[in-house]
Each structure stands twice: as structure tokens, then as C-alpha cells.
């Protein structure tokens, strides 16, 4: 007899915005922050160069960009018109892709999915419209394929960790202890540690170090900041400690990584 595993609940809590945007001026420069929650763009025309999380990105037709919780973006339109679809949604138990997988090329086949989502979003408010928005958004997220197969599944208890992580990213220039995280969110250290493991499969301090070093690597490889400036930006008061942890994570010190780019 064939067996099957029941599907879990939808991670989508609410859809906040679906829109199609167009910029017709080549050379248009922009600075912005993404919206709270998850924000996904699909480029369908034009070309843009931008920097996000210390990483330089070139957006071409078919590029998907995934943002999470108010990330700072700077960019310029290289080829107009720049046309892209955008969806902003709340999904507290859905982990964002790792920094290195936030730009996903070659997803032109997702355009019809985005168009169906936009059509549902623009319909008159109703229960059916809400169901269709959820359905099309889930198809979009599944079609992006940005998460590795072994990525821990989101759970309700993990929602707390994503709130903590979003807060920690806003204060990434300071190292936080587990006690500080617990105090800031009025939870016990055990509760915070359990939430982090449920969300990403790691202890809290290891996860925060991973985020700091991932952001640092983008700055090392794609910015002109010196190592003292970079170490300070990601919460290392001493450069030698930053260099030690960087080498342990990536196999070579930051100066050598920059030279090899």
C-alpha cells in the first residue's frame, strides 16, 4: 500500500502587496530599504546593478531577488525600461534564503505565475481572492527553489527567532550575547536557543556569527572598505579576531580573499 506524508500548514501569514513597477530612465539611481517581512522581485525587462548585504548584484530579465526585513539597497538602472514584479508578504516561520542565494537567475518561467498572482491581488476582496493569492504565492515560492534541500523547515516556535534575527541585523555592528538577546525579547536563554534551532538548526551565537561573516565577505569581495572598517561594521572590535574567524569560515584570511576576487 502506498504511503504519503501529510502536507503541513501554509507558511504564508498574509500577502501585503503585489505590484508591477516600471522605470523608464536609464541611469536612474536609487537608495531604498526593502519592506518588513519577505519581499520578492522578478525582473522582466532592463538591467540594473545594485548592492545589497555587501554584495554587488546585476539584475537581468529572469532574475529573482529575495529580500528580508528592511534590507538597505543601492543601485542604478543600466538599461531601460526596467520592469519588475514585486510581492511583499508575511511568513514568520519561513526562513529567507542564505545571503549567497538571494539572487536567483534564469527564472523567466515564473512570469506567468507572478501575473496570475497580480491578477488575483487586484480582484475585489473576497474569500476566493484570498485563497487564490495564497495559492499563487506558494507556487511562486516553490518555483524559485532558493532553499537547499536540507534547509530546516520553519516551525511556529521558530517565529520568535526570525524576530530576534531581524533585530540583530539592524544592530550588526555590535556583538550580542545570548543573555542580551534574551533580555531584549523578555524570553529565557533556553527559549531563544530552542527558537533558533527550530528556525535554522543552529545555536543562536553560531547563527549570528554566520550572518556577520557572510555580510563581511560581501564587503571584503565587493567593496573598497579596509579591513578595520569592515570588522567594525560587523561587530568585531579587534581586526585579528575578525581575521581569525573569517579564515576559519572561508579557508583564507580576508586580505587574501580580496586579492583573489
Q: At what angle do helices 204-222 and 159-170 cross, to 10 degrees?
A: 40
Total number of domains constituting the chain: 2
Examine residue 33 and state whether it is found in any structural domain, yes or no. yes
Average pLDDT over residues 204-223: 85
**CATH classification of the domain holding 189:** 1.10.10.60
**CATH classification of the domain holding 109:** 2.60.120.280
Res 256 pLDDT > 80: yes
Evaluated on CA atoms 248, 226, 214, 192, the torsion sign reads: positive
Res 147 pLDDT > 70: no
CB burial string 176-195: b at 16+ within 10 A, e below = bebeebbeebebeeeebbbb
> Is the CB of residue 47 less than 8 Å from the CB of residue 81?
no
More confident site: 91 or 155: 91
Examine residue 1 and state whether it is found in any structural domain, yes or no. no
What is the pTM assigned to this prediction? Answer: 0.70
Res 190 pLDDT > 90: yes
Considering only CA atoms, which of 40, 33, 36 is closest in space to residue 18? 40
Confidence bin at 146 (pLDDT 50/70/90): low
Give yes or no: residues 131 and 244 share one domain: no
> Is the CB of residue 48 less than 8 Å from the CB of residue 81?
no
Considering only CA atoms, which of 13, 15, 32 is closest in space to residue 23? 32
Give yes or no: residues 39 and 116 share one domain: yes
Write down the pLDDT at residue 85.
97
SS3 122: coil
Which structural domain range is residue 129 located in?
Answer: 14-144
pLDDT in tens, 76-130: 999 999 999 999 998 877 778 877 788 999 999 999 999 999 999 999 999 999 9
Give yes or no: residues 174 and 75 share one domain: no
Examine residue 232 and state whether it is found in any structural domain, yes or no. yes
Return d(Cα 61, Cα 107) in angstroms, integer: 8
> Is the CB of residue 223 less than 8 Å from the CB of residue 217?
no
Amino acid at each position: 500500500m502506498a504511503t504519503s506524508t501529510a502536507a503541513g500548514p501554509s507558511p504564508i501569514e498574509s500577502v501585503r502587496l503585489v505590484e508591477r513597477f516600471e522605470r523608464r530612465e536609464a541611469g536612474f539611481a536609487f537608495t531604498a530599504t526593502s519592506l518588513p517581512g519577505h519581499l520578492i522581485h522578478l525582473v522582466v525587462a532592463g538591467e540594473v546593478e545594485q548592492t545589497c548585504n555587501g554584495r554587488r548584484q546585476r539584475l537581468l530579465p529572469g532574475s529573482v531577488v529575495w529580500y528580508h526585513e528592511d534590507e538597505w539597497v543601492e543601485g542604478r538602472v543600466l538599461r531601460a525600461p526596467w520592469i519588475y514584479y514585486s510581492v511583499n508578504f508575511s511568513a514568520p516561520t519561513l526562513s529567507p534564503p542564505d545571503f549567497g542565494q538571494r539572487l536567483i537567475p534564469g527564472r523567466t518561467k515564473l512570469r506567468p505565475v507572478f501575473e496570475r498572482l497580480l491578477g488575483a491581488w487586484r480582484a475585489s476582496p473576497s474569500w476566493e481572492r484570498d485563497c487564490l493569492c495564497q495559492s499563487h504565492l506558494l507556487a511562486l515560492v516553490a518555483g524559485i527553489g532558493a532553499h537547499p534541500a536540507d534547509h530546516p523547515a520553519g516551525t511556529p516556535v521558530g517565529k520568535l527567532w526570525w524576530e530576534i534575527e531581524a533585530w540583530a541585523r539592524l544592530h550588526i555592528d555590535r556583538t550580542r550575547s545570548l543573555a542580551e538577546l534574551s533580555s531584549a525579547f523578555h524570553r529565557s536563554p533556553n527559549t531563544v536557543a530552542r527558537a533558533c534551532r527550530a528556525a535554522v538548526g543552529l545555536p543562536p551565537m553560531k547563527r549570528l556569527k554566520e550572518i556577520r561573516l557572510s555580510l563581511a565577505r560581501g564587503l571584503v569581495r565587493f567593496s573598497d572598505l579596509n579591513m578595520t572598517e569592515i570588522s567594525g561594521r560587523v561587530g568585531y572590535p579587534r581586526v585579528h579576531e575578525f581575521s581569525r574567524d573569517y579564515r576559519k569560515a572561508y579557508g583564507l584570511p580576508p586580505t587574501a580573499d580580496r586579492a583573489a576576487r
